[in-house]
Amino acid sequence: MASNGYYIGLMSGTSMDGIDAALVEIGAGKTRLLRAISHPWPQALESRLRSQASNEACTLREYGELDHLCGHQFARAALSLMDASGLNASQVRAIGSHGQTIHHHPHAPALFTLQIGDPNIIAEETGITVVADFRRRDMAAGGQGAPLVPAFHQAIFQHPSRNRVILNIGGIANITMLPASGQPTKGFDTGPGNCLMDLWCTRKRGLPYDNNGDWAARGTPDAGLVQALSDDDYFQLPPPKSTGTEYFGPEWLDKKLAEHPGLSDEDVQASLLAFTASSIRQAIERWAPATEEILVCGGGAHNQALLSKLSSLLSPIPVMSTDDIAGGLDPDWVEAAAFAWLARQALEGIPGNLPAVTGARHPVILGGIYPARNNDNY
């Protein structure tokens, strides 16, 4: 069985801006981030992944090739992290690999989610036991398979006397509600995080994202467009709920934009930022009205225009980074660290989901286990 020691978490989110690899030490009731790196996707592979994330007609051959190629990249990310940390395979107890989501469909009658990046390849190339395919067991138990990170948030960030919300802004934004009163931890996807802003920035400027939100800050939000974006039925659904870029993607955005022609590119970007902030505010005010602190993580933590808008909308609740508190974590690596932690949960035989978050019928042990070559560390 597993015990205290070093674990690696691998995560690539819906923004597809690289593979985050985090080395985490877990033991004695503490979880400590030791080192982290971002491993870039090869440009050609990234383009193929982005194409398939919004394409439901993926062929079996394309799916298989992408699964294989992503497996190699996840392995290389782990090996690069080990090299940077001066560790060898025998010192790492397990790798928790989230994989790359190419489709998430948490709707009846056939709930499913697909994360690729063959864990067999990762285990073979690193010589380390791999835990992967975390989401589907929760779905098998009737859950949405997302979000899964709230269990980690609860273990790391819960405060004995303050009601906190952990706000993760990746391609999709999600919140974890951490009450201080002993009530159950809850959480859900609020809707788009960076995905629509990144999409528009790439389309109009050829850049992967709007650095600091500077481009959006030069525009003026259009109230009609913001309202049209906000009128989607998803925002009226009660939690548990989850979504992805296969829903909030190019077709969804283009349909909304067609109803509001004539806006400048900057004004569209400003409107997308205002909509993103508004949907997050609505979620917190409706479902976590007793919130006293908001801790932000994910790539959106670097979008100063977005954070400024959130601070204004949510005032007087303080909006800060997850590393602004004692014992906090760098916002860039929270999700990767979470999958290192979930790998240990699986090896210890401890459930990793929170039914109040995902809607599962009961707690379940998440992930399939792919032993290392010599099986010494499992």
pLDDT in tens, the chain (378 residues): 446 799 999 999 888 889 999 999 998 778 999 999 999 999 999 999 988 876 777 889 999 999 999 999 999 999 999 999 999 999 999 999 999 999 998 988 999 999 999 999 999 999 999 999 999 999 999 999 999 999 999 999 999 999 999 999 999 999 999 999 778 899 999 999 999 999 999 999 999 999 999 999 999 999 999 999 999 999 999 999 999 998 999 999 999 999 999 999 999 999 999 999 999 999 999 999 999 999 999 999 999 999 999 999 999 999 999 999 988 899 999 999 999 999 999 999 999 999 999 999 999 999 999 999 765 555
Q: For the domain with range 150-321, which CATH number is right: 3.40.50.620, 3.40.50.970, 3.30.70.860, 3.30.420.40?
A: 3.30.420.40
State how far the Cα of 94 lies from the Cα of 371, in Å rounded to an integer: 9
Whose CA is closest to 146, among 354, 367, 362, 368? 354
Residue 112's pLDDT is: 92
Query: Alpha helices, DSSP H only, in the chain?
Result: 43-53, 60-85, 119-126, 135-140, 150-157, 195-205, 214-217, 223-230, 250-258, 265-287, 304-314, 334-347, 355-358
Residue 58's pLDDT is: 83
Q: Which fold has domain 5-146+333-370?
A: Nucleotidyltransferase; domain 5 (3.30.420)
Number of other CB atoms surrounding residue 166 within 10 Å: 27
| 3-class DSSP assignment, residue 295 | strand
Are the C-beta atoms of 118 and 97 separated by less than 8 Å? no
Its pTM stands at: 0.93
| 3-class DSSP assignment, residue 294 | strand
- Token pair, residue 10, equals 């691998």
State how far the Cα of 174 lies from the Cα of 102, in Å rounded to an integer: 18
Structural domain spans, the chain: 5-146+333-370, 150-321
5-146+333-370 and 150-321: identical CATH topology: yes
Residue 192's pLDDT is: 98
Residue 2's pLDDT is: 47
Residue 371's pLDDT is: 97
**Taking all residues of the chain, what is their mean pLDDT, rounded to a whole number?**
94
Helix (H) or strand (E) holding 177: strand 172-178
Residue 189's pLDDT is: 96
